[in-house]
Amino acid sequence: MSQSDLRQLYGKPSELVREAHVPFLDDTARRFIRTCRLLLISSINEEGFVDISPRGGEPGFVRIVDNRTIEFLDIPGNKKILTFTNIVNNSRVGLMFVVPGILELLRAYGNAELITDQKQIAESGGNSENNKGLVRVHIKKVFPHCGKAITQADLWNPDSWQNEATSEVPGIIDMARGMASARQGEPDD
């Protein structure tokens, strides 16, 4: 299938949708980012695959440096440092900003750098005990994303949430143990 086949199948987006992007943070993007509590960052691993990782915090955890730059502090996690390793090898990243209760999303992409200089980390509100790194992203493109997937998932409706105590959703320890032991042999069918 070609790109023109796809376009014929799906049709063309409206002019507003086609034109709704800028190479910097406009006022609407700044307002959205200031209220963001969840950031999904995609990076490219050494095998060329896209890797996606969540980052979260209180509104303001993503700091707007200027109209083309944002940054956020590292919060220690599982110590795999996959995103950081990827950024060191390939600076291209994609970003998706999420605000709880809001259907629409804000997306962006650009080039990231990992900063480990403690003086710069401190200037950004971090400290050497809790923050080993600072991710700074130089924005290349920002655009809104419709909330159709959020609506279809009924994501913000508490009545649609599963009760983990009675659900069959495995926890992180169960998944880690299962996957670690599965590495020893082929999975059961």
Tens-digit pLDDT string for the chain (189 aa): 999 999 999 999 889 989 999 999 999 999 999 999 999 999 999 999 999 999 999 999 999 999 999 999 998 788 889 999 999 999 999 999 999 999 999 999 999 999 999 999 999 999 888 899 999 999 999 999 999 999 999 999 998 887 766 678 888 899 999 998 888 876 555
In a domain, 162, yes or no: no
Compute the C-alpha angle 91/72/57, nearest 5°: 135
One-letter amino acid of 131: N
Place of tokens 């996959």: 82
Domain count, the chain: 1
**167 lies in some domain:** no
Question: Is 0.85 topped by the overall pTM?
Answer: yes
CATH of the domain at 60: 2.30.110.10
Half-sphere exposure of 4 (CA within 13 A, CB side): 0
Terminal Cα-to-Cα distance of the chain (whole angstroms):
33
Residue 53 maps to a domain: yes
Q: Which domain holds residue 143?
A: 9-156
Asked whether residue 33 is domain-assigned, the answer is: yes
Asked if residue 117 is part of any domain, the answer here is yes
